[in-house]
Structure 1
């Protein structure tokens, strides 16, 4: 029923089963119209287009994101072309004359992993990386370490890109951490995939995400939710002067008092138009994050049923990371508890690296697009999937 929104991508790829949607989603058709709208606004308004973009589109987009994340103050949200730009601005709020002590994991996405290793190479930071495995004890081990040391910055993913493991209860997890450090959650694999409520967290954590994956707006529309505080990032752009410059002092750089404190400079905001269009489409058609999550769960279970039947020597449950999270367990009052909220929207198989590459190539030759990282073969699931049409017969 949801495929009607993706006709251009589906028509252009008629013989493809797209299981790489955790990496880059198909875009709904309305995003093409949004690109044209950006062009038309530019042609019509020319130099005055910024009032339309920053005065109308941006607040609307902030509100749509806030609705999805249950944020009470949409003005906390600031945009950037990528999350790397935002995390570097967060880094720049620290005293650069002191070595920063960071607590993170061994499973962060490359934007933070690479940058933090580079800082470490220059002896600018001390980093403790907690292994995510074994997953069953990760949250406990991470929290215990956070409360042992005096960290300046805690950085952790909501859903880990190399396994699909998700923090089981984000609020409970954050509440267990010390409140003095800067806390940043990489929510890229969580936003518009796993139901997320930041209403009690928005004032105290940085939350990074974007539209390239599950929000389906494509690359270039990333954002951060900024907590309470008068931050003054040294890596700053002139957009950060928009709004109330509550700290304007002669001879000093002023900053806005909301999320715009972390804004950059002039950029192509057509991506924000696309994100606005996709989120508006979902809102108009009552397609909530819960709707998407439940559809993906059906897709994942249908996929697992197929591979159970195939009994492939490699793509099977014994090589699936976190298979047990798809079980339903009983609570003390006999009410079923679904543990799949601890799992993202892709399934990850761990295999030897050469086998992973061989399988990815073989599947691609048969019109099955997947994604792999090292020894991990990943299958993603999306709203535009119809699980009853899955065909994995090439694996027989």
Structure 2
């Protein structure tokens, strides 16, 4: 398929000469998101005091439906929204009864969990076992073995792992094995899908009754901040301790005289939030649906661009990138991240040199990342290689 720059005319017009190859980090927003933002303002003032009836009667259900269809969930009622995934993580962990909680995770999780889990350890609220990502060819087996071994040693309360690792772009493919261990009494399993949702086709139908899944709109959903979500399996964490007042509307249950909770995913609702992000998300999803731009179609387009860039590097047409370690090369048609990650001691300097040339990439420690999406075409990739050849 051809690039769909027409869907991003507003964002691209703001800096026409920029090459934005950080679609994995801060994705540019389609025009439909602007229209959604305007609609949010208009309806907030048109409906005023009746706004929340509209939001929970129409806007939230539409957004839940988009998420459920994308992930092949059995019901949209398992989906709840929050301004960020950190809030959702805190609500889940608040429902764990044992302190210190025993948590199994990895050394490659995103900073929100990395920082929070370290602080829990400092405060004596958690004991965290972290399985190293490298060497990655044995990572999946090592993580599953650790999870199974934990069952024999008193058990883990929580297992947290990424679907796609944010620094390296490598994919975890053993979620079914972790789901088989999940139990309402523990462990609970959280799959961080932020780099998987709308980046690669994701079907959770086989594990939706066993795992939590968190993701958001900042990246491949192209909707910006504020539209993060949680899929919550039924029966897991029925009464999170950290809870907002929106969780007390709907079908409720709880002890007599105690705090009541919704019985669906809404038990994880927080409190008053800015709903404009949901309007943006719905607008983007409607546009993609109307254009027939499924995640599989977009991922295939990005894969072609990544292959083009990878070939240019191999041919020596992209400067010193040829001397970097490509951590997640395009090798076949299997599921993959929507970015290429290169490890090199000069990664930080390279990113600064590219930025000075009006090329946006992203760097994490010693790894520079290039993300690909709908608003890029083959000519953009050719220009990217030429700039790399010139400035690196």
TM-score band, normalised by the shorter chain? Answer: over 0.9
SS, match of residue 262 in structure 2: coil
Provide the C-alpha distance between the structure 2 equivalents of 1:72 and 1:279, rounded to a whole number of angstroms: 19
Alpha-carbon offset, residue 389 of structure 1: 3.0
- The aligned residue for residue 156 of structure 1 is 161
Provide the C-alpha distance between the structure 2 equivalents of 1:242 and 1:306, rounded to a whole number of angstroms: 56
Provide the C-alpha distance between the structure 1 equivalents of 2:9 and 2:46, rounded to a whole number of angstroms: 29
Alpha-carbon offset, residue 20 of structure 1: 1.0
Alpha-carbon offset, residue 173 of structure 1: 4.1
Provide the C-alpha distance between the structure 2 equivalents of 1:12 and 1:166, rounded to a whole number of angstroms: 34
Aligned partner of 1:367 among 355, 358, 361: 358
- The aligned residue for residue 97 of structure 2 is 95
- The aligned residue for residue 281 of structure 1 is 287
- The aligned residue for residue 136 of structure 1 is 137
Provide the C-alpha distance between the structure 2 equivalents of 1:300 and 1:317, rounded to a whole number of angstroms: 17
- The aligned residue for residue 327 of structure 2 is 321
Provide the C-alpha distance between the structure 1 equivalents of 2:146 and 2:319, rounded to a whole number of angstroms: 39
Provide the C-alpha distance between the structure 2 equivalents of 1:173 and 1:316, rounded to a whole number of angstroms: 37
Alpha-carbon offset, residue 308 of structure 1: 1.8
Provide the C-alpha distance between the structure 2 equivalents of 1:395 and 1:345, rounded to a whole number of angstroms: 20
- The aligned residue for residue 334 of structure 1 is none
Alpha-carbon offset, residue 246 of structure 1: 2.2
- The aligned residue for residue 271 of structure 2 is 265
Alpha-carbon offset, residue 200 of structure 1: 1.6
SS, match of residue 302 in structure 1: helix
- The aligned residue for residue 331 of structure 1 is none
SS, match of residue 314 in structure 1: helix
- The aligned residue for residue 38 of structure 1 is 40
- The aligned residue for residue 224 of structure 2 is 218
SS, match of residue 233 in structure 2: coil
Provide the C-alpha distance between the structure 2 equivalents of 1:22 and 1:292, rounded to a whole number of angstroms: 13
Alpha-carbon offset, residue 312 of structure 1: 5.1
1:89-128 correspondence runs (5 A):
89-95=91-97, 98-128=99-129
Does 2:334 align with 1:350? no
Alpha-carbon offset, residue 42 of structure 1: 1.1
SS, match of residue 113 in structure 2: helix
SS, match of residue 321 in structure 2: coil
- The aligned residue for residue 304 of structure 2 is 298
SS, match of residue 81 in structure 2: strand
Aligned residues of 2:179 and 2:189 also touching (Cα < 8 A):
no
1:22-37 correspondence runs (5 A):
22-37=24-39
- The aligned residue for residue 64 of structure 1 is 66
Provide the C-alpha distance between the structure 2 equivalents of 1:322 and 1:301, rounded to a whole number of angstroms: 12
TM-score calculated relative to the size of structure 1: 0.92
Provide the C-alpha distance between the structure 1 equivalents of 2:16 and 2:174, rounded to a whole number of angstroms: 39
Structure 2 portions without partners, runs of 5+: none
RMSD of aligned alpha carbons: 1.5
Structure 1 portions without partners, runs of 5+: 329-337
Aligned residues of 1:71 and 1:199 also touching (Cα < 8 A):
yes
Provide the C-alpha distance between the structure 2 equivalents of 1:371 and 1:389, rounded to a whole number of angstroms: 17
Does 2:172 align with 1:167? yes
SS, match of residue 215 in structure 2: strand
Aligned residues of 2:318 and 2:386 also touching (Cα < 8 A):
no
SS, match of residue 315 in structure 1: helix
- The aligned residue for residue 148 of structure 2 is 147
- The aligned residue for residue 395 of structure 1 is 388
Provide the C-alpha distance between the structure 2 equivalents of 1:295 and 1:59, rounded to a whole number of angstroms: 30
Query: Which digits, 9 at most, give the CA deviation of each residue in 1:180-226, with x for residues without a partner?
Result: 40000000000001110011211111100000000001100000000
Q: Residues 176 and 132 from structure 1, CA distance in 2 versus in 1: closer, same or farther, beyond 3 angstroms?
A: farther
SS, match of residue 65 in structure 2: helix
Aligned residues of 1:146 and 1:178 also touching (Cα < 8 A):
no
Alpha-carbon offset, residue 168 of structure 1: 3.1
Alpha-carbon offset, residue 367 of structure 1: 1.7
Does 2:18 align with 1:16? yes
Provide the C-alpha distance between the structure 1 equivalents of 2:159 and 2:261, rounded to a whole number of angstroms: 24
TM-score calculated relative to the size of structure 2: 0.93
Provide the C-alpha distance between the structure 2 equivalents of 1:356 and 1:125, rounded to a whole number of angstroms: 34
Aligned residues: 378
